[in-house]
Amino acid sequence: MNLSEKAMNASEKRILKLAIILFTIGLIVRYLPWGLPSIESFEVGEAIVVNSHVDSAHVDSIAVPNKIKETEKQAELVELNDSVTAERSVHHRKSKKKVVFPLNINMASAEDLCAIKGVGPKLAEKIIERRNAFGPYKNASDLKKVHGIGKKKLEMMLQSIIFD
């Protein structure tokens, strides 16, 4: 074997150095006693309490009022949560109107038309405007005259609608 075959090239040396450095940093962070600072608690609108090295008398004077405040805030949040839950049970969400297919295109509201695949609120309004302006739709060619309805969209819609 040749000496040049045994030696590493420059890029391999850089990668090996980087791996050793990262491994060393990992060991330092993992096993040294000082570690990294951590946040013990965090409250929105309040001061952040960070784990720090202070005398025990100072910690007791800070920790006790904060603990009292925390339990008071938790009790308030529970009360607020209970009142919101009670309010929600009284006021139910509006349930979506069930649409029965096939849908009569000449009697359907904008909300009903939005239930058809490919029809959104704007297109539903255009369909209703044209129906009000020119009278009821008699066939698919009348519906195709609405701006925004092309051949593909019309084919999708015809599966869900009927004409009078």
| Residue 84 predicted with pLDDT over 80 | no
The pLDDT assigned to 60 comes to: 47
The pLDDT assigned to 7 comes to: 77
The pLDDT assigned to 88 comes to: 55
Q: 102: cis peptide before it, omega within 30°?
A: yes
Quote the CATH superfamily of domain 103-162: AF1531-like domain (1.10.150.280)
Q: What is the pLDDT of residues 96-138, one digit of tens each?
A: 668 888 899 999 999 999 999 899 999 999 999 999 999 999 9
- Listed by start position, the domains of the chain span 39-90, 103-162
Residues paired with 108 in a beta bridge? none
Mean pLDDT score of the chain, rounded to an integer? 76
How confident is the model over 146-162, as a mean pLDDT?
A: 92
CA distances from 71 to 30, 62, 128 (A): 34, 15, 57
| Residue 6 predicted with pLDDT over 90 | no
Q: What is the pLDDT of residues 25-43, one digit of tens each?
A: 888 877 776 655 555 555 5
Nearest residue to 134 via CA among 146, 119, 149, 122: 146
| HEC-encoded secondary structure of the chain | CCHHHHCCCHHHHHHHHHHHHHHHHHHHHHHCCCCCCCEEECCCCCCCEECCCCCHHHHHHHHHHHHHHHHHHHHHHHHHHHHHHHHHHHCCCCCCCCCCCCEECCCCCHHHHCCCCCCCHHHHHHHHHHHHHHCCCCCHHHHHCCCCCCHHHHHHHHCCEECC
The pLDDT assigned to 100 comes to: 85
Confidence grade of residue 17 (pLDDT, cut at 50, 70, 90): very high
The pLDDT assigned to 95 comes to: 58
The pLDDT assigned to 122 comes to: 95
Alpha carbons 97 and 129: distance in angstroms, whole number: 22
